[in-house]
Amino acid sequence: MTTPTKEGSAAVQARRVLVLNSGSSSVKYQLLDMENRSRLAIGLVERIGEETSRLLHTPLTGGAATRERMGRIADHEAALKAAAEELAADGLGLDSPELASIGHRVVHGGLRFTEPTVITEEVLAEIERLVPVAPLHNPANIIGIRTAQVLRPDLPQVAVFDTAFHTTMPEYAARYAIDVETADAHRIRRYGFHGTSHAYVSRKAAELLGRTPEEVNVIVLHLGNGASASAVAGGRCVETSMGLTPLEGLVMGTRSGDIDPAVTFHLTRVAGMSVDEIDVLLNKRSGLVGLCGDNDMREIRRRIDEGDERAALAFDIYVHRLKKYIGAYSAVLGRVDAVVFTAGVGENSAPVREAAIAGLEEFGLAVDAGLNAVRSGEPRLISPDYARVAVAVVPTDEELEIAGQTFALVERLGRTAQPGQAEPLGRVDN
Ligand code: AMP
């Protein structure tokens, strides 16, 4: 893409994309060069608004070391300005004509946003309208977008939605079996999350198998602190484990995953707990941390090695849930070409992979102990040659996926698009 310089004379190639992932008290950022899909710098601002804010910035060109800034960073605007200063110090200033766009991770796009979308006031209003179904995430994403708009009002900014990849789920998978009028009035349905990761990893898995995404059916297990499974048929998501919110499904670091909804009525009536208390219980004090006090799989494995029974039970519950989903999604897909592990636990924990696949020979699944033990940052197969279904580890890269989708969209739009004038290219479904 070509863009005029500030002087309006010689043209330069605008091939950089800044990816922003704004949380309630943190901002993660990466600057990528889409010419060769390489990272130029990465950074994180955490504990925004506290006295102990911290910025960590790592330039990835020129061999400079990570820099740290400690001390209060008042708000997201200050955080982004501090990040911009760090980038400028590396000669990667955000005022550069080489910056093509800013891509924002937006957690909830509802049913409307099925594709990456150029952010207009109308798009922002719709993201705002979805706050009741994503109260923790969407407000932080909106603040990140507003701040970035102040920084570079001339640039097209793009929202890439965590829910988008799952909008292809058939109605019978997405709907809860509750009263239809109530569900529709409050937009209650299964949306799914981690969509950029499921999209990226399922595509990479097809590549690893030497096939096109259209040719393969895969089960993706995104096992990070948050965890979700998806069934992807011919490149399209047909089922996923997270629902209206990221609470449903697998056992996670601090979230319960699937649970009988009557537990909430029971806790209200019997334990006198408020809705907010139950919300905190299920989202923050459950999952691995609720079961054994630790949510880091490394620590849990260490405790198991020392004979800790609570840690062992937590591990077994975690793995049992995974197995149930592998079985269920095998049935949903009919034919499975690969089961793919990704994210912090999936990429690094050989014991979790081994235990999740153990006993599934009848499903055509097996893990080769030697291959499973290899540590690598590359996509790789860990199943033996004889296995009918491949088992793979594919490192996820949500930032690269967001940058790629953002860049592809602004390239299609061309530089004529200005914020506020551009039409969202996303298919509008409601
Ligand atoms: P994520 O949310 O994808 O960053 O994953 C974070 C989680 O990955 C941590 O809470 C750990 O449970 C897990 N994890 C990270 N590194 C390892 C490792 N080397 N071995 C086992 N688990 C790991």
Same fold yes or no, 14-161 and 211-398: yes
Q: Is 225 annotated as a binding residue?
A: yes
User: Is 348's C-beta closer than 6 angstroms to any atom of ligand 1?
Assistant: yes
Q: Hey, which of 162, 193, 349, 353 would you mutate to test ligand 1's pocket, going by the most ligand atoms within 8 Å of its Cβ?
A: 349
Q: Which atom of ligand 1 is nearest to the CA of 225?
A: 2
**pLDDT of res. 96:** 92
95 is catalytic: no
**pLDDT of res. 121:** 96
User: Is 247's C-beta closer than 6 angstroms to any atom of ligand 1?
Assistant: no
Residue 267 to residue 250: CA distance in whole angstroms: 22
**Under-70 pLDDT residues of the chain:** 1-12, 415-430
> Which of 33, 95, 154, 162 is the catalytic position?
162
Domain locations in the chain? Answer: 14-161, 211-398
Residue 292 to residue 376: CA distance in whole angstroms: 29
User: Is 254's C-beta closer than 6 angstroms to any atom of ligand 1?
Assistant: no
Residue 212 to residue 80: CA distance in whole angstroms: 39
The residue type found at 301 is: R
Residue 196 to residue 399: CA distance in whole angstroms: 9
Residue 419: burial class (beta carbons within 10 Å; 0-12, 13-18, 19+): middle
Q: Is 398 annotated as a binding residue?
A: yes
**pLDDT of res. 415:** 52
Residue 286 to residue 282: CA distance in whole angstroms: 5
In the reported structure, the alpha carbon of residue 350 is separated from the centroid of ligand 1 by a whole-number distance in angstroms of: 12
The tokens describing 278, both together, are 């139950």
**pLDDT of res. 251:** 98
Q: Which fold has domain 14-161?
A: Nucleotidyltransferase; domain 5 (3.30.420)
**pLDDT of res. 146:** 94
The residue type found at 187 is: R
Query: Whose Cα sits closest to atom 23 in ligand 1?
Result: 345
Answer for the pair 133, 110: CB distance below 8 angstroms, yes or no.
Answer: yes
pTM, two decimal places: 0.91
Q: Which fold has domain 211-398?
A: Nucleotidyltransferase; domain 5 (3.30.420)
**pLDDT of res. 424:** 38
SS3 of the chain: the string is CEEECCCCCCEEECCEEEEEEECCCCEEEEEEECCCCEEEEEEEEECCCCCCCEEEEEECCCCCCCEEEECCCCCHHHHHHHHHHHHHHCCCCCCCCCEEEEEEEECCCCCCCCCCEECCHHHHHHHHHCHHHCCCCHHHHHHHHHHHHHHCCCCCEEEEECCHHHHHCCHHHHCCCCCHHHHHHCCCCCCCCCHHHHHHHHHHHHHHCCCCHHHCEEEEEEECCCEEEEEEECCEEEEECCCCCCCCCCCCCCCCCCCCCHHHHHHHHHHCCCHHHHHHHHHHCCHHHHHHCCCCHHHHHHHHHCCCHHHHHHHHHHHHHHHHHHHHHHHHHCCCCEEEEEHHHHHHCHHHHHHHHCCCHHHCCCCCHHHHHCCCCCCEECCCCCCCCEEEECCCCHHHHHHHHHHHHHHHHCCCCCCCCCCCCCCCCC
**pLDDT of res. 8:** 41
**pLDDT of res. 283:** 92
**pLDDT tens digit sequence for 258-273:** 999 999 999 999 999 9
Q: Is 371 annotated as a binding residue?
A: no
**pLDDT tens digit sequence for 385-401:** 999 999 999 999 999 99
**pLDDT of res. 427:** 30
Q: Is 105 annotated as a binding residue?
A: yes
**pLDDT of res. 421:** 41
